[in-house]
């Protein structure tokens, strides 16, 4: 039987993307938590180019980059497909996944910056939310994937969960439900899906870790 | 299946070149429309409202945006001719990883080479060569990244060759001296009509960069 292993980090939204995809398709896997401040030799061997998580190992073959992993999982295990079958609809889904990939780093940048730089990042985040509200969620769909979540919903998980935690932590208010009604509905719907609800990092634990990391970051900046 | 196919493009864009190569490899007729990026057409703004960027592939009135997505779309719809994306799922994942690497690194580093000077430019040159060397490693002894025939990674990377002369002149270095295997691969690609016809002349691109530098007030 093929062995599936996932190298991840409990705080990383990119790691959760893969966990949800595996669970949605009912794939058994072994999870290996990586200490990102002390990466294992195995991780460095499996992802020598970027040295990052997540890395999926399938039959000892490593696959790196969360979106590449998601597409691999979807192709190897076709049950509960995560992308539309129609080529044009698939192209549109891939467009939004790329948008999510390009913009998600802004959310962690909010946490790593302060002052004017943080204000500039916050503005970019706001503009990203505006694009989603105006262009991606038209048609009154429950999810980006229609009636069920798909890879696009999974790709925007940072907006659904991580953004709120970082906003709380940094004392920012970028997302406001009344300003983004469609996005707000989507977030509520997404976080109600059982596989998502049952597999999200605990908010309090996240805040505690973010506080510690931020202290270390600012200390290293000023030294 | 063919229907109406329009490519909104801009001649020096390496991203546009990717789609041109894919369409040429498969012998698909299409209408090429040159966009003036200082005066974007209503059609472009309508078909790519989010980014307002080229290239945009319009198939039977429906837009496909982002060059890597266009190449995948073209490969899927016209799958019977000159397949670009590997059929094996793992090889596909490897190819997608390298296309993602190219997208993250090559354009940005190349831009830094022609836009900056001094230490910033030196760092960009160093990293640029390191990335090309990693790609040389992935190529190995193969004729193309795709093996015996042109593949997804080849199509994604080779357009940047049209900018190499500009990078070299602006950065005062030789890419061939540092990465001879890469240039050997480029020359093999350029022997293919689909590639040779899709890439503009390097001197023209350099003149274009010089114009841009004037406009942006870069020395």
A71 contacts chain B (CB < 8 A): yes
Please tell me the predicted confidence (pLDDT) of residue B96.
98
Please tell me the predicted confidence (pLDDT) of residue A136.
93
pLDDT tens, residue by residue, B95-109:
999 999 999 999 999
Please tell me the predicted confidence (pLDDT) of residue A173.
94
Structure ipTM = 0.95
CA distance B74 to B85: 10
Domain ranges of chain B: 5-77, 89-216
Summarize the confidence of residues A133-160 as an average pLDDT: 93
In total, the C-beta contacts within 8 angstroms joining chain A to chain B are 57
Structure tokens at A145: 């994937």
Strand pairing class (A61-64; A55-58): antiparallel
Cis before residue B55, ω within 30 degrees of 0?
yes
Q: How does residue B79 score in pLDDT terms, banded at 50, 70 and 90?
A: very high
- Cα dihedral: B136, B139, B141, B142 (round 10): -150
Architecture of the domain spanning B5-77: 3-Layer(aba) Sandwich (3.40)
Residue A153 pLDDT > 60, yes or no?
yes
Contact partners, residue B107, CB within 8 Å, separation at least 6: B14, B160
Summarize the confidence of residues A168-180 as an average pLDDT: 94
Please tell me the predicted confidence (pLDDT) of residue A214.
80
Pick the CATH number of A87-222 from 3.40.50.150, 1.20.120.160, 3.30.360.10, 1.20.1050.10: 1.20.1050.10
| Three-class SS of B151-181 | CHHHHHHHHHHHHHHHHHHHHCCCHHHHCHH
Structure tokens at B40: 């974007």
**Cα B47 to Cα A61, A87, B42, B54, B111, distances in angstroms:** 39, 17, 8, 10, 26
pLDDT tens, residue by residue, A97-128:
999 999 999 999 998 898 999 999 999 999 99
The hierarchical CATH code for the domain A4-76 is 3.40.30.10
- Give the count of beta carbons closer than 10 Å to the beta carbon of residue A80: 14
Cβ-count burial of A72 within 10 angstroms (0-12 exposed, 13-18 middle, 19+ buried)? buried
* Chain A residues near residue B59 by CB distance under 8 angstroms: 88
Domain ranges of chain A: 4-76, 87-222
* Chain A residues near residue B93 by CB distance under 8 angstroms: 63, 68-69, 71-72
Q: How far is B79 from chain A (nearest CA, A)?
A: 12
Q: How far is A83 from chain B (nearest CA, A)?
A: 13
CA distance A34 to A186: 31
Pick the CATH number of B89-216 from 3.40.50.720, 1.10.1200.10, 1.20.1050.10, 2.60.40.790: 1.20.1050.10
Contact partners, residue A50, CB within 8 Å, separation at least 6: A64, A65
The pTM score is: 0.95
* Chain B residues near residue A99 by CB distance under 8 angstroms: 50
Q: How does residue B63 score in pLDDT terms, banded at 50, 70 and 90?
A: very high
């Amino acid at each position: 039987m093929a062995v599936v292993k996932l190298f991840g980090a409990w705080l990383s939204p990119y790691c959760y993307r893969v966990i949800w995809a595996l669970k949605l398709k009912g794939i058994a896997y072994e999870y290996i938590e990586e200490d990102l401040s002390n990466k294992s030799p195995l991780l460095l061997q499996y992802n020598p180019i970027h040295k990052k998580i997540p890395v999926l190992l399938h039959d000892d073959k490593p696959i790196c980059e969360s979106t590449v992993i998601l597409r691999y999982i979807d192709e190897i295990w076709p049950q509960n497909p995560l992308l539309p079958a129609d080529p044009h609809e698939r192209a549109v889904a891939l467009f939004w996944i790329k948008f999510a990939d390009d913009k998600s780093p802004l959310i962690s940048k909010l946490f790593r910056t302060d002052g004017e730089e943080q204000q500039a990042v916050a503005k970019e985040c706001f503009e990203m939310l505006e694009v989603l509200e105006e262009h991606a969620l038209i048609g009154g769909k429950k999810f980006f994937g229609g009636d069920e979540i798909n890879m696009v919903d999974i790709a925007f998980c940072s907006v659904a969960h991580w953004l709120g935690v970082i906003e709380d932590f940094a004392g920012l208010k970028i997302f406001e439900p009344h300003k983004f009604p469609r996005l707000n509905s989507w977030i509520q719907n997404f976080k109600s899906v059982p596989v998502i609800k049952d597999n999200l990092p605990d908010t309090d634990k996240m805040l505690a870790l973010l506080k510690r990391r931020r202290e270390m970051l600012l200390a290293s900046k000023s030294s | 299946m063919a229907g109406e196919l329009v490519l909104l493009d801009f001649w020096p864009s390496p991203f546009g070149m990717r789609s041109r190569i894919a369409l040429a490899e498969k012998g698909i007729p299409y209408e090429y429309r040159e966009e003036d990026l200082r005066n974007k057409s209503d059609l472009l703004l309508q078909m790519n409202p989010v980014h307002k960027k080229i290239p945009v592939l319009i198939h039977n009135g429906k837009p496909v945006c982002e060059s890597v997505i266009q190449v995948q779309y073209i490969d899927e719809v016209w799958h019977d001719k000159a397949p670009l994306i590997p059929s094996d799922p793992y090889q596909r994942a490897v190819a997608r990883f390298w296309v993602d690497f190219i997208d993250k690194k090559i354009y940005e580093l190349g831009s830094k080479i022609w836009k900056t000077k001094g230490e910033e430019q030196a760092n960009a040159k160093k990293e640029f060569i390191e990335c090309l060397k990693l790609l040389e490693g992935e190529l190995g002894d193969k004729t193309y990244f795709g093996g015996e025939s042109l593949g997804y990674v080849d199509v994604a990377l080779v357009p940047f060759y049209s900018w190499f002369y500009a990078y070299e002149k602006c950065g005062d270095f030789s890419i061939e001296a540092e990465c001879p295997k890469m240039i050997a691969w480029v020359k093999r690609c350029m022997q293919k009509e689909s590639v040779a016809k899709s890439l503009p002349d390097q001197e023209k691109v350099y003149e274009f960069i010089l114009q841009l530098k004037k406009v942006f007030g870069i020395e």
